[in-house]
Amino acid sequence: MHKEYENAILDITEEGIATITLNRPKALNALCGEINRDMMAGIQEVLADPSVRVLIMTGSARAFAAGADLKEMLEVTPRQARDICQLAKDINELLESMPIPTIAAVGGFAFGGGCELSLACDFRVGGPRTMLSFPEAGLGIIPGANGMIRAAQIVGPSKAKELSMLNSMVPGEEAYRLGLLNWFVKADPELDAAAAAAKKAQKEAKKAGDEAALAEAKAAAKAAEAAASQSEYDAIYGKAVEIAKQLCTKPARALESVKKVIYDAVNVNAQQGKLRETTEFSLLFNTHDQREGMTAFGEKRPAVYTNN
């Protein structure tokens, strides 16, 4: 299935992997009312399709989503700001609580609302050009779609305050070290080397003062960086698909239970999470896949799951 909205694209493969690609390239996928409505429409389509086992959220090589559209927000009233924020919150809450796993394939910038969107997914994949940031406090506001809360759950309160108050730019490798990314992948090393060499040549041409050579070097550096950036994004998205395929081999009911238990423990309270865990554990013993999984393990053969 392939469906194009004005600012997003939905694809669903025969394997049950859905991808929602943010598609507002001129604005680096900056989030606005229109793109949020398209995202919500795509997510609702995914929820209505029982064949979908995993949802991947992604953008482009340059930007996952470069924050909110400031032009839209500059003159809004507090009431309007709440309405804008509510749709973003609803999207993030759905990604976090929906019964299927969600993966953010984060190429390039994920600033502000884009960072919040990525943190609402169960898993995140990035690379060296991935850049996460909460710039809002420097603009006189704060993240409004619960991104700070989710960041605090991942990196702890003190580090979340640092990210939110100092508006730190977190490159992919550091984000992976902090746990903001689950997987860190790189581009083709030859393309990365070519991009570095072209950038060096541009600096040398600038230093030499040869305008014609500089213009040529700039064009070459831009093309080399674009190729390396696209290679990195392809690797990021490829890794997300690889993880999605692994998740598709697991019993859907068990994955849904994992999400329910952890959601309750994190978002309600630990005691409720413990109760939910016991309940879900018990109920899974009334499923075909529990019996099949354990029987197959004992018989030393691959399990054949039916997601029932």
Q: Tell me if 230 sits within 8 A of 257, measured CB to CB.
A: no
Mean pLDDT of the residues in the chain: 93
Active site residues: 116, 136
Cα of 38 vs its chain's centroid, Å: 16
Q: Which two tokens stand for residue 70?
A: 């400031």
Query: Tens of pLDDT along 227-273?
Result: 999 999 999 999 999 999 999 999 999 999 999 999 998 888 867 76
Q: Is 150 exposed, middle or buried (0-12, 13-18, 19+ CB in 10 A)?
A: buried
Residue-wise pLDDT for 119-161, tens only, equals 999 999 999 999 999 999 988 889 989 999 999 999 999 999 9
In this prediction the pTM is: 0.91
- The pLDDT tens digits for 75-123 are 778 888 888 788 999 999 999 999 999 999 999 999 999 999 999 999 9
CA distance 90 to 99: 15
